[in-house]
Amino acid sequence: MKKITIVIGIITFIGIIALIIVSNNNTKVSEKIIKYCNKQKENSFELKLADYTNFDWDNVIIYKNPISKQDLLEFTGIDYKNELDLQSGMIFINDKKIVYEEYFETDFETPYKFIIYPYEDINSKDKINQVSIDKAIFKVERIKYKNENRYVLKPTI
């Protein structure tokens, strides 16, 4: 009876550890960045995007709305299947294949809680940019909106 209790305890412990590891790996890249940014005392600083990913990638595509699948195809050569028109987001590529993608959530009435712009000039007419892993360094600006932190990231290159 003691052996069964010990075995069940060990299995339960291993299961809990595995669940913690899996849930940490499923955290969105933006959530990891926001967690880091919330700890910073400065309102402006730099970060390297690769520090917040747990998968292999060689390029990231940053886009802002409005953009279409055709725009993405023409810019990158990637035949994208999902809709993009009213979204802004990032698509991580490894060896010319999509390995991770994330949309930036918005309610279209308030500033984004988190957004990465494709170019340093947020008013640029260019809506898409591709950045290699070694150049994916962004300047972060914290903006207060109704007592909430909002984060705007712009490429440093």
Averaged pLDDT, 133-141 = 95
pLDDT on residue 84: 76
How many separate domains does the chain show? 1
* Confidence class for position 91, pLDDT limits 50, 70, 90: very high
- Domain residue limits at 84: 2-155
Higher pLDDT, 116 or 58: 58
* Confidence class for position 56, pLDDT limits 50, 70, 90: very high
**Residue 19 in this model has a pLDDT that exceeds 60:** no
pTM of the model: 0.78
Measured between alpha carbons, how far is 123 from 64 in angstroms, rounded to an integer?
11
Do residues 66 and 122 lie in contact, with contact meaning Cβ atoms separated by under 8 Å?
A: no
Q: Which of 139, 36, 57 is closest to 99 using CA atoms?
A: 57
**Residue 140 in this model has a pLDDT that exceeds 70:** yes
Question: For all residues of the chain together, what is the average pLDDT?
Answer: 84
pLDDT on residue 126: 86
